[in-house]
Chains A and B, each alone.
Chain A
Amino acid sequence: MKASPGSRIHNLTGHVARMLIVLVLGGFLGATLVRLAPGFGVDTEELDTRLSERSVVALRQSHAMEESLPRFYFDYLSKLLHGDLGVSESLHRPVRELLAERFPETLKSVGLGLALAWLAGLSLAMTSVMSRLWIADLLASLLASILLCVPAAVLALLFVIAEAPGRLAIGLIVFPKVFYYARNLLAQSAGLPHVVTARAKGVSGLRVFFWHVVPVAGPQLLALAGVSVSLAFAAAIPVEVLCDIPGIGQLAWQAALGRDLGLLVNLTMIVTLITLAANSGAELVAQPLRPGEA
């Protein structure tokens, strides 16, 4: 039975509502963390001996309005609704401007990394499952295992040492997860009775793969695609920091070192939103492909 347009709209609305709820809750959690953090309202500029007493008082007053948590959050939300993400305390620039400047860089890194990870991961998983050569499986698994055991930051450093494009490191960080999950899924699908029967009847390997294995594993592979977006964004932090790519990963690190919590919370929420959108998108695409729901 094909899903009706009504049920699709219902699904879409459900996903959008879920995203909004998670965003509001996440924003509230972030604002609470910022507000309750030790040292909140204390500015290192206060320690500047050149500042007069009046300047110190003015600095303190600028933080005083943030003291009540509901007010702090209400201000944050109302500004957000007007497209104002505030000003970075450490970089003294509007967050919106920083994002506009750095986001395209991260998108480029994440896009390239994901493309590499999926190309390598899926092709090696396919080779490993369909060739049924133990040596192919062993070599691919060995490569994935080694990459899985190397911290993302070290991998980025190795790229710097090798003078290779740092963006590719994101691909190698995400690759092992894609490979393992895809290989297990494909192997599971390839072992199903109807696939074994198709093989026994002499159907060619490629046909078996595209007609019988992929349709079964497809929905879960799409779910993995959603998750891999989150993995790639997480990998962007060490890669951009160590390879000196001016993206939002590097911005998050600078904000962490400068204890710029407002900027950090904004960045976390934006990446959360992207992750949720990717997961919901993958879920919506995968839903009609699931047996029984198509």
Chain B
Amino acid sequence: MRRIRIAAILILAVIAATCLLANFVAPDSYAHQFRDIPDAAPSLHHLLGTDDLGRDRFSRLLYGTRVSLLLAPAAALLSSLLAAILGGAAGFAGGWLERCLMATTDLFLAMPWLFLLITVRALLPLDVSPLISVAITFALLGCLGWAAAARVVCADARTLCGSDFVLLARASGGSGFRLLWRHVVPNLTPVLFAQFWISIPIFILTEANLGILGLGVAEPLPSWGGLLRELESFSSLSAQPWRFVPLVLLIVTVSCFHIAVRKQEAWA
């Protein structure tokens, strides 16, 4: 199992490095249109052919993967931070604050994730630039995805507050903030790391779903969701199997994340 994990991490590292270097690796810009060769088959210059608008599919795949691989961790970081603040405060303070915060968490957990997401997405302005749309999409994921993690963090913080070393520190005159900062927060780090890693594949898949439904990142900026929308023209798929490459890459990436975080899941 350890070898498989190392292989998964290596594959992820290669994918991430290739996409981060998209500016150098990609043969063209993601938005450049080769208007004379739309929907072209793979060739030496266009490794995965061109899309309906004549844009190089391989370049779009690299840039799209970069968008998802950079912003999904950013969203996961945001949701983990929110979970740490709200869950940590609830678990540490206890009493009415815990009850109020956990009631809010329950409210978020009871609301169906995708319904809530498209509701909030629909609230936001439509006439935004692609860069803002990508930021909005992933910020929403981060802002709405904290609830489950907050529950775990709260339970952990509560257990920590009742542990011997915290009681001892409290008995030795440790103040509230000092206790929190020196004793509780460092011991919550493994749970937060676990939640962070677990959230990444979830956010990648959610963005892909939103993208396919036309509620994700705006064109011409590519993302996995946008790239997978090409599968909708299924009449030509059997003749153009290379259109499945983004899907294969997505499955490989998410699988690698799942394998790599399996150890973390034990913490969560």
Q: Mind listing 13 A-B residue pairs with CB under 8 Å?
A: A33-B119, A145-B258, A149-B201, A151-B208, A233-B112, A234-B112, A237-B115, A238-B114, A238-B213, A242-B212, A242-B232, A260-B122, A268-B115
> Which residues of B have CB within 8 Å of A264?
115, 118-119, 122
Interface size on A, residues (CB 8 A): 48
- Give complex CA distance A146, B256 in Å: 11
B residues touching A (Cβ–Cβ < 8 Å)?
103, 106-107, 110-116, 118-126, 201, 205, 208-209, 212-215, 225, 228, 231-232, 234, 237, 247, 250-251, 254-255, 258
Residue of B nearest to A258 (CB): B122
A242 and B107 alpha carbons, distance in the complex (Å) = 29
Indicate whether A294 reaches chain B with its CB closer than 8 angstroms.
no
Q: A237 and B114 in contact (CB under 8 A), knowing A25-B107, A33-B119, A265-B119?
A: yes
Q: What CA separation (Å) do A272 and B119 show in the bound complex?
A: 13
Docked-complex contact B110 and A237, CB < 8 angstroms = no
Complex interface: stretch among A34-42, A52-60, A115-123, A214-222:
A34-42
Which candidate, A67-75, A152-160, A199-207, is the interface stretch facing chain B? A152-160
Binding site for B on A (CB under 8 A): 18, 21-22, 25-26, 29-30, 33-34, 37-39, 145-146, 148-154, 157, 160-161, 230, 233-234, 237-238, 241-242, 252-253, 255-257, 259-261, 264-265, 267-268, 271-272, 275-276, 279
Choose from B118, B125, B232, B258 the contact partner of A157 (Cβ within 8 Å).
B232
What is the chain B residue whose CB lies nearest that of A161? B234
List residues of chain B with CB within 8 A of the CB of A265: 119
A34 touches B250 (CB 8 A): no
Q: Please list the 5 inter-chain residue pairs (A to B) with the smallest Cβ-Cβ separation, ordered nearest first.
A: A37-B123, A153-B212, A149-B254, A151-B208, A256-B122
- What distance in Å separates the Cβ of A208 from its nearest Cβ neighbour in chain B? 26
Which single member of A30, A149, A153, A161 contacts B213 (CB below 8 Å)?
A153
Whether A256 contacts B121 in the complex (CB less than 8 A), given A146-B251, A151-B212, A272-B112, comes out as yes
Chain B hits for A39, CB < 8 A: 125
Closest A residue to B214 using CB positions: A257
